[in-house]
Amino acid sequence: MPRIPRRLARTLQGSFAATGTPWHSSFQRHGVALSATNVAAFWPERLARGPSWSVLLGRRDSTTANQTGANTSIPAPFESLSNITAKFSAVGLNLCLFLQIGAHTFGRAQCRQFSNRLYNFSGAGQPDPTLNTTYLANLRQICPQNGSGFVVANLDPTTPNTFDNNYFSNLQNLQGLLHSDQELFSTSGAPTISLLNLFSSNQSAFFQNFVQSMINMGNISPLVGSNGEIRANCRRVNGNLVSRLAVEAHFVFFA
């Protein structure tokens, strides 16, 4: 079984199944319900042909939630490039990291997150001019005007189930589902354009940058010392002292 580093940071918020990983059975034996997101990045290459790397586990998380802080700090699907830049700068990251993550090669978004681009962009009663017209017609079939805002569309319309660099090619072809994504290519003079063009033509370069970017993201403002807790399930706080001590003991044992 791999050695688990003690100084750790959970990095990937994904939906890969983790129950088949070597660590899963070990955590079960020690009474820890390991969430899929804890070890998600160990096996994406097998599940979606994406890059792989050693994920740093055991990040200390807060015992309280801050919805307002999250909504303020995380870029929204409709934000401009300048706003995205400001939010990344606030945590010591640059805009190119946002591009390097490129994780929208996977996943789906609800119509309510982008329907304004289809019918009433910027309140002008017209679609977003940066949308490919064929792609626009397809999206209108999925998200009719005044339809359910909870219907979903693939973030990557070309290879939605494969982790690859088509996300960047889509942006070049004006097929970015979210406004915040298309801004990375369609904003005149954007510093991300040259890097986006590189990733579109060189998947290996994208994979290498993606790995480092995910590690960097996982190291944003970690709690240290006795602050917070290492969660038994990363989606919720530990329910009791026994659960917390079980997790702490496991990581100390394998450190």
| Positions in the chain short of pLDDT 70 | 1-48, 95-103, 240-255
Q: Is 72 annotated as belonging to a binding site?
A: no
Give residue-wise pLDDT tens across range 59-96: 888 888 788 877 777 778 888 888 888 887 887 777 66
**What integer pLDDT is reported at residue 95 of this predicted model?**
67
CB neighbourhood size of 209 (10 A): 20
User: Per-residue b/e over 63-101, b at no fewer than 16 CB within 10 Å?
Assistant: eeeeeeeeeeeebebebebeebbebbeeeebebbbbbbb
Q: Is 61 annotated as belonging to a binding site?
A: no
Give residue-wise pLDDT tens across range 194-203: 999 999 999 9
Q: Is 222 annotated as belonging to a binding site?
A: no
Ordered structural domains, the chain, with CATH: 22-62+223-254 (no CATH), 75-217 (1.10.420.10)
- The tokens describing 57, both together, are 């586990």
Q: Does an H or E element contain 36, and which?
A: none
Q: Answer yes or no: are the C-beta atoms of 28 and 34 closer than 8 Å.
A: yes
Q: Is 128 annotated as belonging to a binding site?
A: no
Q: Is 63 annotated as belonging to a binding site?
A: no
Q: Which amino acid is at 193?
A: I
